[in-house]
């Protein structure tokens, strides 16, 4: 039964594709060409035209007596319809890998763009761009924590701590989803800090979380692809500790880069949509926030190597050369 339905649908798409360059035809005529009985044609053709029309391949006109007719907008659109018909007849899937969570930014490989979540992300991004008031497909309650500090060797400029999200393939503030087991949003923020920052343990006598406000942000999810309504509760961490042990996914970002949508850390972008909205609500913006950590943080050897690879490489080569030159005196 399903195979017969696929064949009827494929025949209908082929008949529709044949209308390229021709006079637009009625739905009843399309059904007749596809071999459908009139009662079936009325419903089936209308449903197919509505679905295929989402791809922008059709042009609709109205006759003098008010009857709607349909044509195909271009040869490329006709090839697309014939391609869909071939997929139906073969039973092959156009999209796959729906179980895989996470999307990437372009340029894309053929495999990436036809992965289900990636295709969904692109389609949902377009839906939101065409309709800023588009209805979100999901709602998420999250917390994020601002950690602001000055670092030695950086001219005293303020930096903000970001964490890499493996599934979204983006950097964002420390934080995450509020769980049903969390007592409240503050408890969720503490849990996320202890999970994401290596060696961090929240001490109420030393650490304070200040609520900065709640931001409602709508954007496509980089994990699931769907347009999502995020309710983000922001906190700022203030601690009396003079050190913060970070994990491999941590990165300090300069104040002038934290809200720049074009800024990249390696190939990864920043997820700061809600943070940008928060910045507009704070007196003096993020720049007006106090430091989270007293004094200046020391940079680790790993950070120095990452930030200044050529200088470190030159120093290493120089030290090796010095050692080699001293060997004759030591032997």
CB atoms closer than 10 angstroms to residue 234: 25
Per-residue confidence (pLDDT) for residue 224, from 0 to 100: 93
Please give the structure tokens belonging to residue 89: 């007849």
Per-residue confidence (pLDDT) for residue 167, from 0 to 100: 87
Angle at 157 between CA 153 and CA 159, to 5 degrees: 95
Residues with pLDDT less than 50, the chain: 301-308, 312
pTM here?
A: 0.81
What Å distances lie between residue 39 and 18, 45, 66, 166, 186, CA to CA? 23, 10, 20, 52, 61
Per-residue confidence (pLDDT) for residue 301, from 0 to 100: 44
CB atoms closer than 10 angstroms to residue 22: 9
**Do residues 186 and 208 lie in contact, with contact meaning Cβ atoms separated by under 8 Å?**
no
DSSP result, 118-153:
HHHHHHHHHHHHH-TTPPPSEEEEEEEEE-EEEETT
pLDDT in tens, 79-91: 999 999 999 999 9
* Domains (range + CATH), the chain: 2-90 (1.10.10.10), 138-308 (3.90.79.10)
Per-residue confidence (pLDDT) for residue 287, from 0 to 100: 95
pLDDT in tens, 6-35: 998 999 999 999 988 888 988 888 988 888
How far apart CA 161 and CA 148 sit, in angstroms, is 7
The SS3 assignment for 273 reads: helix
**Do residues 24 and 70 lie in contact, with contact meaning Cβ atoms separated by under 8 Å?**
yes
């Amino acid at each position: 039964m399903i195979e017969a339905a696929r064949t009827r649908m494929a025949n209908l798409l082929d008949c529709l594709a044949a209308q390229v360059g021709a006079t637009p035809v009625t739905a009843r005529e399309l059904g007749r060409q596809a071999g459908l009985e009139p009662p079936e044609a009325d419903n089936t053709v209308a449903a197919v035209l509505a679905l295929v029309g989402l791809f922008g391949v059709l042009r609709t006109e109205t006759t003098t007596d008010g009857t709607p007719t349909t044509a195909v907008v271009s040869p490329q659109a006709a090839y697309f319809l014939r391609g869909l018909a071939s997929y139906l007849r073969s039973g092959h899937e156009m999209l796959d890998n729906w179980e895989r969570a996470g999307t990437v930014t372009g340029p894309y490989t053929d495999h990436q763009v036809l992965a289900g979540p990636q295709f969904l992300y692109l389609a949902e991004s377009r839906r939101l761009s065409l309709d800023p008031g588009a209805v979100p497909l999901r709602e998420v309650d999250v917390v994020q924590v601002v950690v602001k500090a000055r670092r030695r060797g950086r001219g005293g400029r303020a930096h903000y701590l970001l964490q890499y999200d493996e599934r979204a393939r983006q950097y964002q503030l420390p934080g995450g989803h509020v769980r049903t087991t969390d007592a409240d949003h503050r408890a969720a923020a503490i849990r996320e800090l202890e999970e994401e920052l290596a060696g961090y343990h929240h001490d109420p006598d030393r650490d304070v979380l200040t609520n900065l406000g709640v931001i409602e942000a709508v954007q496509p999810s980089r994990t699931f692809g769907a347009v999502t309504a995020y309710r983000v509760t922001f906190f700022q961490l203030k601690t009396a500790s003079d050190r913060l042990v970070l994990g491999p996914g941590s990165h300090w970002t300069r104040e002038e880069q934290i809200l720049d949508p074009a800024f990249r850390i390696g190939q990864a972008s920043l997820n700061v949509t809600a943070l940008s909205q928060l910045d507009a609500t704070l007196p003096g913006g993020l720049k007006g926030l106090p430091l989270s950590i007293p004094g200046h943080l020391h940079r680790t050897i790993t950070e120095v190597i990452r930030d200044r690879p050529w200088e470190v490489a030159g120093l290493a080569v120089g030290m090796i050369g010095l050692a080699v030159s001293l060997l004759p005196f030591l032997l």
